[in-house]
Structure 1
Amino acid sequence: MKVNVRPLCAADETAWRELWSGYLEFYGSSVSETVYATTFSRLVDASRPAQFGLIAEGGGRAIGLVHVIVHPHNWRVEDVCYLQDLYVAPEARGVGAGRALIEAVYAAADVLGAPSVYWLTQDSNSTARLLYDRVAKVTPFIKYQR
């Protein structure tokens, strides 16, 4: 299957919602309707270039997504790029969509002058980590949250 990655657009809302719901379900989470609507609006708002989404298509349909936030960093002059959510539909895994989405984020970060791209995953997400270990370096940091 040929995978194409492109910017998320307003016409993608239904497909995006289905994919993001799958992502949230995978992590045992959910968000309110207000968060769905607000997040999608932000991701497709051209006046907010530091927050955007990309969608992967294959076989004539949306098969994956990634959400990105570019932000300042106190240890760098340049901004850094946070790959916040990455998801490929279960039936489309193994066709290169995850790698294509990450590489598209890398390319976007380069265009934006953000040399560092980082993300988090659960330590038990062994399937995704097989890919992540090939395209990035794992760090020794542990996340804390209020």
Structure 2
Amino acid sequence: MTHEIRMAGDEDFFGWLPLFEAYCNFYDTELDDAKALIVWNWIRDDANPLEAALAVDDEGRPVGLAQFRAVPDTLKATRGIHLDDLYVDEEHRGAGIGRGLIEFVHARAAELGTGGVTWTTAADNAEAQRLYDELARRTSWVTYEMDA
């Protein structure tokens, strides 16, 4: 089965939603209607930096997503992309979709002139890290979070 990777369009909401919900569930985060609509509106708003790419199967059904945004890199005085969310439907894992989505985002970063993509993942997400270690350099940066 082949998969096309393309930017999400207005008509993709109901294909995107189950993937985003599964992603949220993977990270033990509840997705309610309000949150889903806020994130979707960010994706569809040209004034917001968040974008989404979808991997679709032969029938046009979304089976993977990547949500990302352009960010400034002050140390290099350029712009790159931060990959916020990456998810592939469990039934379609192992078919190269995750790799294809990351490579698609990397190509978008090259359009900005840097080719740079950064992302984080949970320390216990070993399955994803096997792919990430093949594609990118693991850094020594430590991530912190401060709650509102």
Q: When the two structures are superposed, what TM-score results if normalisation uses the length of structure 1?
A: 0.93
Check whether the contact 2:66–2:86 (CA below 8 A) recurs between aligned residues. Answer: yes
Q: 1:47: how far off? A: 4.2
- Deviation sequence 1:59-115 (CA, Å, 0-9, x none): 421100000111112212111210000000000101111011000000111112243
Q: Which is worse superposed, 74-83 or 102-111?
A: 74-83
Distance in structure 2 (CA, Å) of the matches to 1:7 and 1:44:
10
**What are the ranges of 5 or more consecutive residues in structure 1 without an aligned counterpart?**
none
Q: 1:43: how far off? A: 0.9
Q: Which is worse superposed, 115-124 or 89-98?
A: 115-124
Distance in structure 1 (CA, Å) of the matches to 2:25 and 2:100:
23
| 2:21 corresponds to 1:21 | yes
Residue 52 of structure 1 is matched in structure 2 by: 51
Check whether the contact 1:3–1:100 (CA below 8 A) recurs between aligned residues. Answer: no
Report the 3-state secondary structure (helix = DSSP H, G, I; strand = E; otherwise coil) of the residue aligned with 1:72.
Answer: strand
Report the 3-state secondary structure (helix = DSSP H, G, I; strand = E; otherwise coil) of the residue aligned with 2:78.
Answer: coil
Residue 76 of structure 2 is matched in structure 1 by: 76
Identical residues among aligned pairs (%): 30
| 2:137 corresponds to 1:130 | no
Pairs aligned (count): 145
Residue 115 of structure 2 is matched in structure 1 by: 115
Q: 1:46: how far off? A: 3.4
Residue 143 of structure 1 is matched in structure 2 by: 143
Report the 3-state secondary structure (helix = DSSP H, G, I; strand = E; otherwise coil) of the residue aligned with 1:139.
Answer: coil
Q: When the two structures are superposed, what TM-score results if normalisation uses the length of structure 2?
A: 0.92
| 2:67 corresponds to 1:67 | yes
Residue 34 of structure 2 is matched in structure 1 by: 34
Residue 92 of structure 1 is matched in structure 2 by: 92
Check whether the contact 2:80–2:112 (CA below 8 A) recurs between aligned residues. Answer: no
Check whether the contact 2:8–2:53 (CA below 8 A) recurs between aligned residues. Answer: yes
Query: Could you tell me which amino acid in structure 2 is paired with residue 63 of structure 1?
Result: V
Distance in structure 2 (CA, Å) of the matches to 1:26 and 1:32:
15
Report the 3-state secondary structure (helix = DSSP H, G, I; strand = E; otherwise coil) of the residue aligned with 2:124.
Answer: coil
Give the aligned CA root-mean-square deviation in angstroms.
1.3
Q: Which is worse superposed, 78-87 or 29-38?
A: 29-38
Higher RCO (Cα < 8 Å, 6 or more apart): 1
Distance in structure 2 (CA, Å) of the matches to 1:73 and 1:134:
23
**What are the ranges of 5 or more consecutive residues in structure 2 without an aligned counterpart?**
none
